Structures are given as structure tokens and as C-alpha cells.
A and B are shown apart, each in its own frame.
Chain A
Amino acid sequence: MTPNTHHTANTPGWVDVDGPHIVTSRFGFDDSFTLARFEATGGYAGLRAALDRTPADVHTEVREASLLGRGGAGFPAGVKWGFCPPAVWPRYLVVNGDESEPGTYKDRLLMQRDPHQLIEGSLIACYALGLSQCFLYVRGEMALAQERIATALNEAYAAGYVGKNILGTDFSVDIILHWGAGAYIVGEETALIESLEGNRGMPRLKPPFFPAAIGLYGKPTIVNNVETLANLPWILLNGATEYKKFGSDTSPGTRLFAVSGHVARPGVYEIEHGVTTFRELIYGERFCQGIRDGHELKMFIPGGASAPWFFPEQLDLPLEAKPVGAAGSMLGSGAIVVMDDTTDAVRACLRVVRFFARESCGKCTPCREGTTWEETVLRRILDGKGRSADIDMLLDIGDNISPGPYPVAANEAEGQTAVPFPPRQTTICPLGPSSVAPITSAIRRFRSEFEAKIVLPETIPVAAAVHPATSELAAAAHGEGGHR
């Protein structure tokens, strides 16, 4: 019997495929989110296994599993844990459930479908590092995830898994469910901490504000992504050696990838990390089953909206951080957006840039002013009010946000080699520089599409052309709501 009496049907999106089920093992059950189902399927066994060992041992096990962070940066969790300065207390755990990167859809599934698994993973981290309080920061817009986690926490507190003297030991920790309120930038870990302190979610400069040293309330703080922590119960139960049997040497285990856009079978797939290629994932019968009928792949974003675009030439790269980075993009948050030949590159570019302009926190000048300027110019081009100088100006605005050669995929036809990831930045966090990704990607590859939209002669005064009324009409003609 579940206390969730008023929920809609279980969350769609996950596609069950053959292979290891490290974090999705319960996704097939309708009642996967209940404590009863969790306990019946090995739940909290990982925690018990951890409590039988010393905290230092648990940390070692995680370090040996080479569990890479699943939030986007891909930094090994066990190493990150080791950055806490010794003998500085208290330490906090902040669980980053603010999943907002366009194209990314996997933490929400983990929170909705298996909240206890996340709680268990969080507890293991707290035990290993002596974290005295855990804050589970769930994106504001995810009402169902919040309800499921609240229910799960209430169950877990009552059953003695969370709170005082967990499972009768002297391990005590509170897990506090915290809701966000709509701000993509809060997914950045220093902004997440600001937000959790009740402030505007504006990133802090690292250094000095490395969260592991100076984090929540100025104290050492571990910020881990939901999916990262969801791996911990399995690792503690089965050991690092077993874990490393999946995936590649440098990227062990499995990873959730959300593939969206113009594929025949979009979905969230748990696949072995680092061994599958984009081609297999997008075209494989087990997975997305290719581009929708009658169309060809034009481009795809391999790691969320912040990632520079890939094209058919990059299909055979493995889903692994290093080769993807060397090829000029990033694996990011496990979000692959596939676009076929019907896609207007300028429109797609504008839409992604608009996202960053809207989500800029406003702290750093280049991002605050630059992203909005980029959006305005792109909209003008799309509205047929572009000037031929605009294309190079867009690239130069981008250069002032992210100086130097911007990461881009190789274009053999044009004789261009790849510029590896990451971009340089004039800003504190990567949000502003990320807005340059779609611009550079689209203009480098599809410059002619931009030029085709620029039909007006140079001399027409452009300021008059962006009279709001005109702009709005044009936006409406494109089915655009406009950025208001």
C-alpha cells in the first residue's frame, strides 16, 4: 500500500534495455518508489554494508570504483570527497537535484521512481565523510519528485534509516528536502550553495570558493549529483571491482542518457559508460532506432545545450568524456538532442542562445550583457532584419565572452580541425561561454543558412527595424512567444 494516493501514472521516458541495471533496477515496478518495494528488492542493503565498515573504508571503495560525477563535469566523486580539509567541522552534503540543462532528463526519473535509492546513496556519502547534515535540493518545477522524496523521507525516518542513530548505530544524519524555485544557474554548485543559503543563485568564484573547502555557510561541503549518489548503494553492495566490470577503464559503470529530438524511439537509457558509440545509441535497434522516417541526421548535441554540436562525422565516437572533449564538445549531463534535416540551424541556435540569455544570473558583465545581445541579433536575423556584418559580429561577441578558439567539431569538408573542449571564459562560471556553443557550431557549419536570411542591404537603419511592434509581429509569424 502506498501513501501516494493522488499521483498520476508512473513517469514515462525510461526505456528498458538489456544490460546492467545499476540505477534503474526498480524502474520496472509500478510501486518502485515505495519503501516496501525498495526493501523487497535489496534496498538499504548497501547502507548496511557501509555501516559494517569504517567510514575510511567506504571512501576507499568509492574512490576505487572511479565513479565519475554525473552532473556534467565528470570529476571522480571519490577524489572530490578527498578535498575536504581535515579536521574542519561541520561538513555538509548538498545533493544537486536541480536538473535543468536542456535535453537532460534523468535525475528527475531517479528522484521520482527510486527516491529511496537516492536517500541510501546520500546516507553512504554522509557516513563516509562525516557529513552532519544533508540537503536534498530538488528543482522547484518538479512537484512529483518533491512529493515522492518527501514521502520516502517520511518513511525512512520512521523506519530508522534516516535521522538519529541510523539502524541502531551511532551514525546520525538528517536529510532535509529543499525545493528550488526556477533558476537553471542554481545547478552550478556554488550557485546551488548560495541558493540553499537563501540568496540569489549567483555563482562564487573558485578559488577561493571551492565548496569542498568553503561551501555551505562557509564550511566544507560536498555537492554531488543525484545520479552520482544513486550509484553508491550498488557499489557498496557489490564492490568496486564488480562495478568496474561495466563500462570502460576510464569511465566505469553505467550511465543514463536521455536521447530526445528526431529519433524514432526517444528515451532515457541506462547504458554501459564509455563503450557505446553515438551511432549505436542513435541508430541501434536496442536503443533509439535511428532518425524518424524519411529524414537524415543533420546535427546532434552530445551533452546538453551547453555542448558544442556534433555532426554525422562524429557518430562513431564512444560515449566517453575524453574522446568527446578532444573532438570539440562534451558529454556533459547525458543529454543527446538529435536534429534531422528539417531543422532550421538559425532557429535552433537562437532557441539555445535565448535559454542562456534568460538564465544568466546577471553577475558577470560579459554573460549578462553578451548573451542578451547575442539573442537580440539572432532574433533580428531570423526576423529578416539582419545585416551581413552581424554574422562575424556574433562570433566576436562570443569571443569577448569566451576568448580564443572556441571548441568546435572537425569539419572535414571545409578542412577545419577540431578545437578541443573546454572553452576559455571571461566569466566566473561557464554559463555565458556556453551560449557561444550554438553560435560557433551553427555558423561554422551552416553559415550559408545565416546568409540566406540576411537579405536587407547594409544601409537600412537597424534600430528602427526592431521597433517592438514589428518584432512581435515577426515573432508571432514564426510561432514565437517572444522573450518577455
Chain B
Amino acid sequence: MSRFNADNLIVAESIIRRYPVAKSALIPLLHLAQEQDGYVADDAMAHIAELVGVTPAEVVGTCTFYEMFKRHPVGTYVVNICTNISCLVLGGEELLHHAEKSLGVRAGGTTDDGLFTLEDVECIAACTEAPCLQVNYRYRYRLTTDDFDELIDGLRTGRITDVPHHGVLARIRQQIADDRLAGVVAPELATEAPVWLAASDAGGAGS
């Protein structure tokens, strides 16, 4: 349950500055909140509302549309098993069923130790490598049930170290040095043709 901490507030403000209209930063900021807390807390949404100048109701409206945002705490590792068509025909549902038994939770549930949340998800774009899954959005391909158990064991024992906690998506952020930024202008103010177009054949494709 928290607003952005000081470091993340700086990140949040730099994200907002990249958009001609602040509300566009809403989804990236929700990700930032989830990275901070592992889920999207109500206070974080209220903070985001303040930062982008909308109501908290609008933030929660956007937040709940997207399934990656969790409004309540989930496991350290969210295990998303794909059961969509390409995985289905190669054992995706059987893999999920195995996972349910081996973790002792139904899809959508979280293990008692708070380590794993299991989800039955739609296509994650690794169809040629079926059946596949993601742990905190890191892929694992062509899994057997043994592979799955080994993965869980590796995460549980800390042997696997390349999967960050839930909420951390890209660990590299876009950085734009001030002197390299072309410039962000509110749409109602950028009413002129860009210089390179105006300088060339203004009657061409761009006009």
C-alpha cells in the first residue's frame, strides 16, 4: 500500500515528460507502481492520478482493463502457462494440470508460502516452442513436466537468479539526454509542419 518512493517519483516524472499528454504515461506508471510493490496498490493509483491529472476512478478504470496489473499481492513469481491453441495441441493444458497439482493451487491461486502464483494465460507469442510459459514474463520453452518441476525447484532454492521479483518488467529503461531530445510538444501547440518537411518539397507526400 504505497505511493511512489522518492526514487520512483523521479522516474515517474521523467516518464510523464516524454508524452505530449500526461495521461499517456498512465500504463507505464502503473507498471512502475507494480515494480515497486509487486502489485498495484490503491494508494499508488491515487498518486498516479495526482501526477497525471486525472481522477483515481479513471486510473482504476484503465488499470483493471489490463490483465498484467494485479490489484492485490501475488506471489514473488507469477507463472503463466499458455494453454492457447498452439500450446493446447502440444500439451499446454496437461502442463497446467501438472502445475496445479505440483504447486497445490488452482490457476489463479497463490501458494501458501507466497512464492508462486499460477495463471492459465492466453497466447504469449512463442507458439513454435510449445508448450511454453513465462515466469514474471521470462520465457521457458518446450517444457516437460520434469522441466517444470526443475524450474520451480530452481526458483524456490534460489538457484535460478535471472528472474526478478514480480512487477519488474524491463530492467533497462529508456534514457534520453536532454540535449538529444527532439522535444515534446502538446498536440494543440504543434500546429506547423516539421522543419525537414517544410524545407523540402512542401507539396509532396507530407503536405
Q: Verify A147–B170 contact, CB threshold 8 A.
A: yes
| 8 Å CB contact of A157 from B21, B141, B176 | B176
Nearest Cβ in chain B — how far from A138, in angstroms? 9
Q: Verify A129–B205 contact, CB threshold 8 A.
A: yes
Nearest Cβ in chain B — how far from A141, in angstroms? 5
Would you give 25 A-B contacts (Cβ < 8 Å), ordered by A? A89-B191, A90-B191, A103-B86, A108-B126, A140-B169, A164-B179, A170-B195, A172-B196, A176-B18, A176-B174, A177-B174, A178-B27, A180-B66, A182-B67, A198-B24, A217-B21, A259-B128, A261-B127, A266-B130, A337-B127, A348-B88, A479-B93, A481-B81, A484-B106, A484-B108
Residue of B nearest to A60 (CB): B205
Contacts of A144 in B (CB 8 A): 138-139
Contacts of B94 in A (CB 8 A): 479
Residue of B nearest to A99 (CB): B125
Mask: chain B, 37-63; 1 = CB below 8 Å from A; 0 = not: 000000000000000101000000110
Q: Verify A54–B200 contact, CB threshold 8 A.
A: yes
Residue of B nearest to A87 (CB): B207
State A173–B176 Cα separation when bound (angstroms).
Answer: 12
State A162–B85 Cα separation when bound (angstroms).
Answer: 39
| 8 Å CB contact of B205 from A82, A163, A260 | A82
Q: Verify A196–B24 contact, CB threshold 8 A.
A: yes
Interface residues in B119-133 (C-beta closer than 8 Å to A): 120, 122-130
Check B204 for interface membership: any CB of A closer than 8 A: yes
Given contacts A132-B194, A181-B66, A476-B100, 18 further A-B contacts (CB under 8 A): A13-B129, A56-B200, A59-B204, A90-B190, A100-B122, A104-B123, A132-B182, A140-B169, A162-B180, A178-B24, A182-B66, A197-B21, A200-B61, A301-B85, A337-B85, A355-B122, A481-B81, A483-B120
Check B146 for interface membership: any CB of A closer than 8 A: no
Contacts of A198 in B (CB 8 A): 21, 23-27, 52, 54, 62
Nearest Cβ in chain A — how far from B93, in angstroms? 4
A residues touching B (Cβ–Cβ < 8 Å)?
3-4, 6, 8, 12-13, 54-60, 81-82, 86-87, 89-90, 99-105, 107-108, 127-130, 132-133, 139-144, 146-147, 150-151, 153-154, 157-158, 160, 162-164, 169-174, 176-184, 195-202, 216-219, 258-262, 266-268, 301, 305, 335, 337, 339, 342-343, 347-348, 351-352, 355, 358-359, 361, 476, 478-484
Q: Verify A133–B85 contact, CB threshold 8 A.
A: no
Contacts of B204 in A (CB 8 A): 54-57, 59
Q: Verify B176–A163 contact, CB threshold 8 A.
A: yes
State A33–B61 Cα separation when bound (angstroms).
Answer: 36
| 8 Å CB contact of B171 from A147, A476, A481 | A147
Q: Verify B20–A261 contact, CB threshold 8 A.
A: no
State A12–B93 Cα separation when bound (angstroms).
Answer: 22
Check B1 for interface membership: any CB of A closer than 8 A: no
B residues touching A (Cβ–Cβ < 8 Å)?
18-21, 23-28, 30-31, 52, 54, 61-62, 65-69, 80-81, 83-86, 88-90, 93-94, 96-97, 100, 106-108, 120, 122-130, 134, 136-139, 141, 162, 169-177, 179-185, 187, 190-197, 199-201, 203-207
User: From DSSP, what is the main secondary structure of chain B's interface residues?
Assistant: loop
Q: Verify A305–B181 contact, CB threshold 8 A.
A: no
Residue of A nearest to B68 (CB): A182
| 8 Å CB contact of B182 from A150, A163, A261 | A163
Nearest Cβ in chain A — how far from B67, in angstroms? 4
Contacts of B136 in A (CB 8 A): 143
Q: Verify A146–B169 contact, CB threshold 8 A.
A: yes
| 8 Å CB contact of B184 from A105, A174, A179 | A174
Q: Verify B69–A86 contact, CB threshold 8 A.
A: no
Contacts of A57 in B (CB 8 A): 204
Nearest Cβ in chain A — how far from B174, in angstroms? 5
Contacts of A352 in B (CB 8 A): 84-85
Which 10 residue pairs spanning A and B have beta carbons closest together? A56-B204, A59-B205, A198-B26, A481-B120, A181-B66, A481-B107, A130-B197, A260-B127, A146-B170, A198-B23
Residue of A nearest to B93 (CB): A479
Known: A129-B205, A261-B86. A482 touches B187 (CB 8 A): no
Contacts of A171 in B (CB 8 A): 196
Nearest Cβ in chain B — how far from A469, in angstroms? 13
State A132–B191 Cα separation when bound (angstroms).
Answer: 11
Centre residue among B61, B94, B174, B203 by max chain A CB count within 10 A: B174
Q: Verify A6–B107 contact, CB threshold 8 A.
A: no
| 8 Å CB contact of B30 from A174, A181, A267, A483 | A181
Contacts of A153 in B (CB 8 A): 174
Q: Verify B86–A179 contact, CB threshold 8 A.
A: no
State A162–B18 Cα separation when bound (angstroms).
Answer: 14
Contacts of A258 in B (CB 8 A): 127-128
Contacts of B124 in A (CB 8 A): 141
State A347–B94 Cα separation when bound (angstroms).
Answer: 13
Q: Verify B93–A480 contact, CB threshold 8 A.
A: yes
Q: Verify B138–A141 contact, CB threshold 8 A.
A: no
State A140–B207 Cα separation when bound (angstroms).
Answer: 35
Contacts of A484 in B (CB 8 A): 106-108, 120
| 8 Å CB contact of B128 from A102, A216, A268 | A268
Q: Verify A102–B86 contact, CB threshold 8 A.
A: yes
Q: Verify A55–B201 contact, CB threshold 8 A.
A: yes
Contacts of A355 in B (CB 8 A): 84-85, 122-123
Contacts of A129 in B (CB 8 A): 205-206
Known: A130-B196, A260-B86. A200 touches B65 (CB 8 A): yes
Residue of A nearest to B24 (CB): A198
Known: A104-B125, A197-B24. A348 touches B172 (CB 8 A): no
Q: Verify B196–A6 contact, CB threshold 8 A.
A: no
Residue of B nearest to A298 (CB): B89
State A157–B124 Cα separation when bound (angstroms).
Answer: 30
Residue of B nearest to A259 (CB): B128
Residue of B nearest to A356 (CB): B122
Q: Verify B68–A13 contact, CB threshold 8 A.
A: no
Q: Verify B97–A100 contact, CB threshold 8 A.
A: no
Nearest Cβ in chain A — how far from B44, in angstroms? 14
Q: Verify A163–B171 contact, CB threshold 8 A.
A: no
Nearest Cβ in chain A — how far from B192, in angstroms? 6
Q: Verify B18–A89 contact, CB threshold 8 A.
A: no
Contacts of B106 in A (CB 8 A): 481-482, 484
